[in-house]
Amino acid sequence: MPLNACPPVAMLGHVTKAYKGRRVLDGFDFALEAGQVTALLGPNGAGKSTVAGLLTGRIAADAGTVQLFGLDPRAPLARARLGIMLQAGGLPETLTVAEAVALHAGYFARSLPTSDVLEQAGLTDLAHRRCDRLSGGEARKVQFALAIAGSPDLLVLDEPTTGFDPEARRAMWQVVRAKAEAGAAVLLATHHMDEAEALADRIVVIADGRILADGPPAAIKAQVAASVLKLRTRLAAQRFAALPGVVKVETVGADLAILTTAPRAALEAAFALDPAIEAFEVTSASLEDALANLVTANRTMKEAA
């Protein structure tokens, strides 16, 4: 190992995992680096939750190596450096927000002061409210507060901003970026492509238990040799499905969004189909387009095999 290289914070080495005979991961290799936000993206059932469960010690691999800070993820010394925010999690109903945070922080040797945690999570004004009187979005903020209370070196966030308003989402993004810049590794699982693009240094796309793409957001988007053609037309969307190079057609508000690998030919064909098109725009493929294209290409390859 080079002198300036650091071992990964967490890793899966040639891991296999199956449920009821269905293999979810097969020879899967994955690692998380310190100081980096890694977004794990993919369709439902792709294996994202399994990867997170293995790295955090909630489930065990059938074969292969799983390490957290060089240890078994279930080891107390490893878990003491881990913060987790799951999609669903209960809170102690009879405690106030401040009491819940202080209680949870007490389990960690490097815990932050309760007032600091409340401020970072946007909960200062709710410190004395009982947990059973919180809205859904407020409860999610408390779950985030619990995840960061122990100054974790690995922060695992599963759909963290569900129920948040736009201002609260942006505030959490700033805190997560600050944690990564201070040296923590962050694993983010989200269905919000804007969230992944705003936060992630690295995006890993998985489907059918294997990695389809791995790199910075710009590199993932660059893998899609396609553009988005936005049209305002009175014709039905299905009329444009046969345009040259079309990968996907969907309605977005009053417009059609057409993902195509041949934008010029598709635009010419669109005007031939509807000379009364009111407005049009050609843009680069988005991260969401890239994800859809990668998953579709993987499905097509499997069907052809």
Q: Determine the Cα–Cα distance for residues 172 and 52; give it in Å rounded to an integer.
A: 20
Average pLDDT over residues 77-90: 89
pLDDT at 78 over 70: yes
Which has the higher per-residue pLDDT, 207 or 115?
A: 115
Residue 305: pLDDT band (50, 70, 90) is low
Q: What is the mean pLDDT of the chain?
A: 90
The identity of residue 231, as a single letter, is L
Which has the higher per-residue pLDDT, 120 or 286?
A: 120
How many Cα atoms within 13 Å fall on the side-chain side of residue 63?
9
Q: Determine the Cα–Cα distance for residues 203 and 216; give it in Å rounded to an integer.
A: 6
What tokens were used for 57?
């010690």
DSSP 3-state of 189: strand
The identity of residue 276, as a single letter, is A
The string of pLDDT tens digits covering residues 251-300 is 988 899 998 888 899 999 999 999 999 889 888 777 877 777 787 777 77
Residues 142, 86 contacting (CB under 8 angstroms): no
Q: Determine the Cα–Cα distance for residues 159 and 140; give it in Å rounded to an integer.
A: 10
Residues 216, 207 contacting (CB under 8 angstroms): no
225-284 under CATH 1.20.950, yes or no: no
Number of CB atoms found within 10 A of residue 45's CB: 13
Where do the domains of the chain lie? 225-284
Predicted confidence at residue 1, as pLDDT, reads 42
Q: Determine the Cα–Cα distance for residues 78 and 66; give it in Å rounded to an integer.
A: 12
* Residues linked to residue 130 through DSSP beta bridges, in sequence order: 96
Q: In this prediction, what percent of the chain has a pLDDT beyond 90?
A: 62
Give, for 136, the enclosing helix (H) or strand (E). Answer: helix 136-148
